[in-house]
Amino acid sequence: MAVRLWEVMERAQNGPFMEENYFVKKSLMPTIKKLIRKYEIKADLSKPVNTSDELADKVWQAGKELFLTVGVYNQDTHRVIEFDEREVNEDLFAAPSYYLVGKNHDLRRYGHRKVEDTEKPFIIMSPDITYDEQVFFNACLSYLKEPLLDGICSPLLGDFMGRPMTSHFPLEIGGSMHHAMTLRETARLAGRPDVFFVAVGTAESDMAQIAVSNDQWGVRAGDARLCGGITELMTNNQMLNKAIHYNQMGNLCAILPGAIYGGYAGGAEGTAILQIAFILQGLCVYGASFSQNFPFHLLYGSNTGREMLWIISAYTQAVARNTHLVNDSNCFANAGPMTDMLFYEGAAHAISSVVSGNNLWTCAPCRNKIHNHGTPLEARFAAEVAHSVVAQHMTREEASEVVNKLLAKYEEKIPHDNYGVPFHEAYDVLKCVPKPEYLDLFYKCKEEVAKMGVNFIY
């Protein structure tokens, strides 16, 4: 990065002083509104996948201007971290366009993708949900058995030694170490000892993340680690500590940004602009290698609705057309395992993401909040859809038509809870395979999605 990490830390401590409320209400929110008007950005939600290059470029320009105008707010020091355009341009130019991750037979290329790219998307599988300690090992093994998995951010531990996990407490360190050790040994048992990890999600605090850095049993150099982008365009000293540690450890540091639709950014246009600014925060503040994006709806906590799919397609195309950055798109679905809605949501998100030029992170069921409710089968479905639409060279116009057909299957159900069943009811836990009735639903939905225009490879 053009601006070195220690210089950024100095700005985080000594930048312009500002109260948080002023930053949000007097700087961030009015600037977003001003930029929507300046660049005349208007979402056409009749097409859930954006088809306009001009609009994508406007979203990029507005997002970059937002970042340069308001900077990033450090909640702990009440200072604004600022950058000038030369610094941002230098960081954009210097950023790698791809990484070689994993080793040996799990060596993969994880790279930038273009709009309507014919290169395969990189697939990271993760339920982003906590699991009981008793099924954690089997849940991890079930994911690692998936052949389309290029990398894993495994299930999270909800408890440790029969005690609920508590952040910033010794239990978090113990549980995070247990997570890291179990995942590493599970990967070996699955025959994938060198697979790419994004780890470990159980470790929320900076101290717990530092505790799991170990090349023998934990998170290795070359694995990826996450730094959150706090609502909105903020950071704190813990996140900065993580960024320093990850970069010094030789990890791929990634920002985890989720601009909120219906929050400070307002509607679809402002949320897409804000997501761009978050990506630049990751690059310039954290020295991030890639961005793991999950814009979400304030009311539902998901990103598979019509307005959210438009946002995903718009910001993805903006980055794909104007940079060579590496990006990932994370699906937050409303429904849960053993429901057809979950398959439809995963398919719609996958199509909107990969046709627009993103890689895929899939998928978090049940609005990312229901314990034990996630399986690899919905991730497999989304991955097969993603590879298939890329292989058939699906255009954005075609993608928008297919996504509209999928939305017709579930759009009206989004406000209602439809959480399905937990892992142990959808899978044979001991054998780590889906139960026959869930597989039957998988193939039924696959036939339906094929009729909508997805030419499955197999």
Residue 13 pLDDT: 97
What is the rounded distance in angstroms from the CA atom of residue 75 to the CA atom of residue 318? 29
Distances (CA, A) of 19 to 11, 16, 29: 16, 10, 14
Mean pLDDT across the chain: 97
Fold of 98-452: TIM Barrel (3.20.20)
Q: Report strand pairing: 108-111 vs 98-101.
A: antiparallel
Residue 167 pLDDT: 87
HSE, CB side, 13 Å, CA atoms: give it for residue 263: 21
pLDDT band at 119 (very low <50, low <70, confident <90, very high): very high
pLDDT band at 3 (very low <50, low <70, confident <90, very high): low
pLDDT band at 312 (very low <50, low <70, confident <90, very high): very high
- The number of beta carbons lying within 10 Å of the beta carbon of residue 301 is 16
Residue reference for tokens 């053993």: 338
The percentage of the chain sitting over the pLDDT mark of 70, rounded to a whole number, equals: 99
What is the rounded distance in angstroms from the CA atom of residue 307 to the CA atom of residue 270? 12
Residue 169 pLDDT: 92
- Considering the entire predicted model, what is its pTM? 0.97
Q: Look at residue 328 and tell me whether its pLDDT is greater than 60.
A: yes
Q: Look at residue 142 and tell me whether its pLDDT is greater than 60.
A: yes
In this prediction, residues 426-444 reach a mean pLDDT of: 98
β-bridge mates for residue 296, sequence order: 260
Q: Look at residue 355 and tell me whether its pLDDT is greater than 60.
A: yes
- Where do the structural domains in the chain lie, given as residue ranges? 5-94, 98-452
Radius of gyration of the chain (CA): 21
Concatenated DSSP letters for 251-287?
Answer: -EEEEEE-PEETTTT-SHHHHHHHHHHHHHHIIIII-
- Over the stretch 392-414, which tens digit does the pLDDT of each residue have? 999 999 999 999 999 999 999 99
Q: Look at residue 5 and tell me whether its pLDDT is greater than 90.
A: no
- Over the stretch 32-64, which tens digit does the pLDDT of each residue have? 999 999 999 999 999 999 999 999 999 999 999
- The number of beta carbons lying within 10 Å of the beta carbon of residue 38 is 12
What is the rounded distance in angstroms from the CA atom of residue 57 to the CA atom of residue 37? 15
Residue 281 pLDDT: 98
Identify each DSSP E strand in 342-381 by its residue range.
359-364
Q: Look at residue 4 and tell me whether its pLDDT is greater than 90.
A: no
Residue reference for tokens 């409710």: 373
Q: Look at residue 105 and tell me whether its pLDDT is greater than 60.
A: yes
- Over the stretch 252-285, which tens digit does the pLDDT of each residue have? 999 999 999 999 999 999 999 999 999 999 999 9
Residue 90 pLDDT: 96
The percentage of the chain sitting over the pLDDT mark of 90, rounded to a whole number, equals: 97
- Over the stretch 238-258, which tens digit does the pLDDT of each residue have? 999 999 999 999 999 999 999
Q: Look at residue 350 and tell me whether its pLDDT is greater than 90.
A: yes
Residue 1 pLDDT: 53
The 72-74 sheet, strands edge to edge: 79-81, 72-74, 234-235
In this prediction, residues 291-302 reach a mean pLDDT of: 97
What is the rounded distance in angstroms from the CA atom of residue 154 to the CA atom of residue 143? 8
Residue 354 token pair: 């990969």
In this prediction, residues 420-447 reach a mean pLDDT of: 98
The C-alpha torsion from 238 through 97 and 352 to 311, rounded to 10°, is 50
